Chain A
């Protein structure tokens, strides 16, 4: 056999091994969650709030955590989108490619991207003490928004950089101002926005450290922004650290719910992306 062909075969097998290794890992995690979760999940767990002896394995469910997580994720994703789309638009349409300001801004977002969520939590906690706020749903939303904004910006920005300049010129030559090209930019980078949203939702819903200090934990569903809110990751954490096996099992049920929520959001995201990107210039 020729040398180059042998090289390719070896490289190919390495790639295959890498993929299989990752798949085994992912499947085993999902298998653990699903097998332990499905064996103990009951309708009561997903539809009811924690009862009296919930944390020693008695009646009740973790609806508080499901609703709390959804509140925080939906609100922070919406706010995050509203903040980061203008930023990405400004970086790519208003600033020139060689702009120093854009360079520094991108660098800053890269740094923010790498900061662990516990630091965001601690920072927000100090800020809240300074402002005299208590742990609350609002605090959780704010810190989660801060956490996902860099993810939003960086992943959208990468897509926006590939935006065809011809399209902008076409729009300008019709007499559009830069602001009026927003609709075109958003349509063209829609798949990037969807991917960014999926990444952000994944990070936001799975994050425990950021909300630990800021959103607190509560056995009831928050009815206002100033009340404490429970979240799924924290709920899993508290239950998993309990000595009783019933409580630990319930943690797996909660993890199952978390995984399913992420799965549903991903599928929904893909569907919406395909729908919106059909008009794109390729």
Chain B
């Protein structure tokens, strides 16, 4: 459905190189995330126990482990979404580069969350148009002007391969897209604020096989510029795309290492059991 009145805000399809806004400069060296003796408990129940791990830059890190082992909680702690859990207590530290994530002020947190994007488990398009969804993040960080926003929307829709599918209906509600398209839109929305890390919490579990393949391929493509951390339930997915693996069991980090080494030659008994399917 084409709305002629919305024509004016549809960006032009150009091949000009895209330059991110000066507000969103990436640091010269891509930072790592360091989790340093991190503990987390909810209402007295210890969920994460003394987690020490370095999450490398420009790689796909897969956090694997059985259900309820604390994978998602660890991921949520990385951008402090864990704050909203009732009765949560933490100790230890998590750092992005030199900046502490656990002990930072409210205003630093806003900037930190911009630098660590999130692709949710279930696609969550905001109740706005397709255009509005991608421009939203830029607007809350103070980017103004339709020209600039148009360029950003155009660029990131191209990056996630949605541009050709939606270019005629940017003014339509984002909820009318298919689930797979919605998930790519969520990815584009996170990318639009120029994050350094992308967190993906089982980002493909709600999608059909073709759409999840598309997302996986995108992650592989994006790891040149971004560092990706994904929680996954599917070992096969981890086997396909992971560069680096963190295995968690009962809230403890059991084994960490390059994907090749962990999958082919696991050092720990529990890892062997998990990989062979004995625990799930």
Q: Mark A176-210, 1 if CB is under 8 A from B, else 0.
A: 11001000100110000000000000000000000
In the bound complex, do residue A174 and residue B137 qualify as a contact, i.e. CB atoms below 8 Å apart?
yes
User: How distant is the Cα of A167 from the Cα of B114 in the complex, in angstroms?
Assistant: 16
In the bound complex, do residue B126 and residue A170 qualify as a contact, i.e. CB atoms below 8 Å apart?
yes
User: How distant is the Cα of A218 from the Cα of B160 in the complex, in angstroms?
Assistant: 66
User: How distant is the Cα of A188 from the Cα of B126 in the complex, in angstroms?
Assistant: 8
Expressed in whole angstroms, the minimum distance between the Cβ of B185 and any Cβ of chain A is 11
Interface stretch of the complex, out of A106-114, A143-151, A274-282: A274-282
**Total A-B residue contacts, Cβ distance less than 8 Å:** 83
In the bound complex, do residue A169 and residue B127 qualify as a contact, i.e. CB atoms below 8 Å apart?
no
Q: Pick the residue among B106, B125, B173 that contacts A278 (CB under 8 A).
A: B173
Q: Pick the residue among A96, A167, A170, A175 that contacts B110 (CB under 8 A).
A: A175
Expressed in whole angstroms, the minimum distance between the Cβ of B138 and any Cβ of chain A is 9
In the bound complex, do residue A170 and residue B127 qualify as a contact, i.e. CB atoms below 8 Å apart?
no
Is B140 engaged at the interface, CB distance under 8 Å to the other chain?
Answer: yes
User: How distant is the Cα of A280 from the Cα of B128 in the complex, in angstroms?
Assistant: 7
Q: Pick the residue among A97, A165, A176 that contacts B140 (CB under 8 A).
A: A176
In the bound complex, do residue A175 and residue B127 qualify as a contact, i.e. CB atoms below 8 Å apart?
no
Q: Pick the residue among B113, B122, B173 that contacts A175 (CB under 8 A).
A: B113
In the bound complex, do residue A281 and residue B140 qualify as a contact, i.e. CB atoms below 8 Å apart?
no
User: How distant is the Cα of A264 from the Cα of B79 in the complex, in angstroms?
Assistant: 49
In the bound complex, do residue B127 and residue A174 qualify as a contact, i.e. CB atoms below 8 Å apart?
no
User: How distant is the Cα of A109 from the Cα of B137 in the complex, in angstroms?
Assistant: 35
Collect the chain A residues with CB atoms within 8 Å of residue B118's CB. 169-170, 173
Q: Pick the residue among A98, A170, A279 that contacts B173 (CB under 8 A).
A: A279
Is B124 engaged at the interface, CB distance under 8 Å to the other chain?
Answer: yes
Expressed in whole angstroms, the minimum distance between the Cβ of A81 and any Cβ of chain B is 19
Is B190 engaged at the interface, CB distance under 8 Å to the other chain?
Answer: yes
In the bound complex, do residue A180 and residue B175 qualify as a contact, i.e. CB atoms below 8 Å apart?
no
In the bound complex, do residue B127 and residue A188 qualify as a contact, i.e. CB atoms below 8 Å apart?
yes
In the bound complex, do residue B193 and residue A175 qualify as a contact, i.e. CB atoms below 8 Å apart?
yes
Is A171 engaged at the interface, CB distance under 8 Å to the other chain?
Answer: yes
Q: Which partner residue on chain A sits nearest B76 by CB separation?
A: A169
Collect the chain B residues with CB atoms within 8 Å of residue A165's CB. 84
Is A164 engaged at the interface, CB distance under 8 Å to the other chain?
Answer: yes
Is B98 engaged at the interface, CB distance under 8 Å to the other chain?
Answer: no
Q: Pick the residue among A172, A177, A281 that contacts B175 (CB under 8 A).
A: A281
Q: Given A174-B189, A177-B110, answer yes or no on A279-B124 (Cβ-Cβ < 8 Å).
A: no
Q: Which of B113, B122, B125, B127 has the most CB of A within 10 A?
A: B127
Q: Given A166-B122, A280-B175, A281-B127, answer yes or no on A172-B86 (Cβ-Cβ < 8 Å).
A: no
Q: Mark B118-144, 1 if CB is under 8 A from A, else 0.
A: 101010111111000000110011000
Total number of A residues with any Cβ neighbor in B under 8 Å: 26
User: How distant is the Cα of A176 from the Cα of B127 in the complex, in angstroms?
Assistant: 15
Expressed in whole angstroms, the minimum distance between the Cβ of A181 and any Cβ of chain B is 9
Collect the chain B residues with CB atoms within 8 Å of residue A187's CB. 126-128
User: How distant is the Cα of A180 from the Cα of B190 in the complex, in angstroms?
Assistant: 16
In the bound complex, do residue B127 and residue A279 qualify as a contact, i.e. CB atoms below 8 Å apart?
yes
Collect the chain B residues with CB atoms within 8 Å of residue A173's CB. 79, 81, 113, 116-118, 190, 199
Q: Pick the residue among A98, A172, A279, A280 that contacts B113 (CB under 8 A).
A: A172
User: How distant is the Cα of A167 from the Cα of B126 in the complex, in angstroms?
Assistant: 7
Q: Pick the residue among A96, A170, A180 that contacts B120 (CB under 8 A).
A: A170
Collect the chain A residues with CB atoms within 8 Å of residue B173's CB. 278-280
In the bound complex, do residue A174 and residue B193 qualify as a contact, i.e. CB atoms below 8 Å apart?
yes
Collect the chain B residues with CB atoms within 8 Å of residue A280's CB. 127, 173, 175
Is B174 engaged at the interface, CB distance under 8 Å to the other chain?
Answer: yes
- From residue 152 to 170 of chain A, which have CB atoms closer than 8 A to chain B? 164-170
Q: Which partner residue on chain B sits nearest A171 by CB separation?
A: B126
Q: Given A279-B173, A281-B175, answer yes or no on A174-B120 (Cβ-Cβ < 8 Å).
A: no
Is B111 engaged at the interface, CB distance under 8 Å to the other chain?
Answer: yes
Instruction: Beyond the given A170-B126, A175-B193, please list 11 additional residue pairs across the A-B interface where CB-CB is below 8 A.
Output: A98-B86, A166-B120, A170-B120, A170-B186, A174-B117, A174-B136, A176-B110, A279-B127, A279-B175, A280-B127, A281-B127
25 contacts between A and B (CB under 8 A): A96-B84, A97-B86, A98-B86, A165-B84, A166-B120, A167-B126, A170-B118, A170-B186, A171-B126, A174-B113, A175-B114, A175-B140, A175-B141, A176-B110, A184-B126, A184-B128, A187-B128, A188-B127, A279-B127, A279-B128, A279-B129, A279-B174, A280-B175, A281-B124, A281-B175
